[in-house]
Amino acid sequence: MDFHHLQYWQHRAQALNIENRLFINGRYQQAAEGETFTLEDPAAQRELTQVARGSSADIDLAVSAAREVFERGDWSRAAPAQRKATLLQLAALMEQHHEELALLETLDTGKPILHSLRDDVPGAIRCLRWYAEAVDKVYGEIAPTGGDALALIEREPIGVVGAIVPWNFPLLLACWKLGPALATGNSVILKPSEKSPLSAIYLGKLAKQAGLPDGVLNIIPGYGQDAGKALALHNDVDALTFTGSTQVAKQLMIYAGQSNMKRVWLEAGGKSANIIFADCPDLDKAAQGAAAGIFYNQGQVCIAGTRLLVEESIQQEFLQALRKHAAAFVPGDPLDPTTVMGTLIDQAHCEKVAGYIEQGLSQGAALFLDGREHPRSGHAGYLGPTILTQVDNAMSVARDEIFGPVLAVTSFNGEQQALQLANDSEYGLGAAVWTRDLSRAHRMARQLKAGSVFVNNYNDGDMTVPFGGYKQSGNGRDKSLHALDKFTELKTTWISLE
């Protein structure tokens, strides 16, 4: 029996010994107030474990440990090459334990084990390796002053960083924060979502084994209104980095202003437009990209191509191709390695997404593909690919971030209308343009108000490019060297030469 079979993963899941405690100052411990919360497997609808529920008392302990080690300099003043070696060791340990990490991710979120193994865990490892390798190759500057002065421009670690991450890609997005924050010498308190804390908790022991000094990485599972709020209001936290909803992102900015004006870097919601022109070079490829762009990870992707804008002359042809590729996403058991579409994060979220389908229909949209009808329709957590056509930009399905496998289709005539429809959103995370016309591709890319514009693909990219949005999709950037700026302070040292 090997990892290509359902029985293998079922056996691994049954034998799994789940760590469920907080990780503070290099050791696992129960919450200060002794509270726990129940964590469920959304696919099996069974209790996985009782997780320690972090509160403000635990945040205080973690921040204190993080500050102490930061000021002592064990990590913050270590040579970049030394930090690199430790982070590379952490990445190697993650690789050794990649099956456990993938299994925890799938049990926690309901995402297919195929994707946890292929995308989430390798992506997290690549991220840590990339920042480990980058940090001893980033130089300071000497300013072009007059001959009587020497001005040095350096970057220093910012201090104690609070990282609050969501449940859709728990380990991957945690590492998008941990990579640059740890590589630059900071101490971090990681607050995973209460819906998906297991891979983050597991990371604690690997970090200690890799040689990360105690207190440099602390992991506090808990609820936003308890642990998250305490972290955001803490006067000894120097920066917050967050991925999640726009509503929470706005609240974190308020908390920062109410406390110590800590730096706040936010990657928030999205409602990205995927624009298909009649001169698209390959309609079938575009339809395949559009399907994956909205149905991958059950549509629970901030940069999902949730709005499909199709030139009217090719709309019917394109929709037929899209239906064919949507059919590949059949909800199934996440532990089955052949499954490409798992469950949504929980029953409540599934009901919320289904409610949007009803809302769209009541506002005048047409149902082209109904994801409520699928082989597992009796299970409350599953929802299949759904396509709504005749969508007007005023409808809630075109404006709100649904965060599920629901595609809103709108037709357009001409470049200007496509641009107007695409930019008519409070979000600005991503956009895509499919066209043969190189000049049109450049014109559109320049005028689309989005942090990433994809031409003849949807959501391609790697660690070398920044990720983040315009408008209410947030500020700052994850990935690339630009993320290093967010976890450092810029210092000028001006020396008079006598």
User: Catalytic residues, which ones?
Assistant: 267
User: 463: which 2 tokens?
Assistant: 């660690």
Q: CA 22: distance to chain centroid?
A: 22
| Alpha helices by DSSP H, 97-185 | 98-109, 113-115, 121-134, 170-183
Place of tokens 């300013």: 143
CA 390/CA 360 separation, integer angstroms: 10
CA 272/CA 425 separation, integer angstroms: 9
Q: CA 253: distance to chain centroid?
A: 19
The answer to whether 402 and 299 are in contact (CB under 8 A) is yes
Report the DSSP pairing between strands 46-52 and 27-29: unpaired
The answer to whether 353 and 385 are in contact (CB under 8 A) is no
Nearest to 327 by CA among 389, 382, 371, 381: 371
Nearest to 224 by CA among 401, 59, 18, 427: 59
Name the amino acid, one letter, at 224. G
CA 134/CA 84 separation, integer angstroms: 8
> CA quadruple 12, 119, 181, 469: dihedral positive or negative?
negative
Those residues whose C-beta lies under 8 Å from the C-beta of residue 386, and which sit 6 or more positions away, are: 357, 367, 369, 370, 371, 372, 405, 406, 407
Element of type H or E holding 480: none
User: 496: which 2 tokens?
Assistant: 């008079």
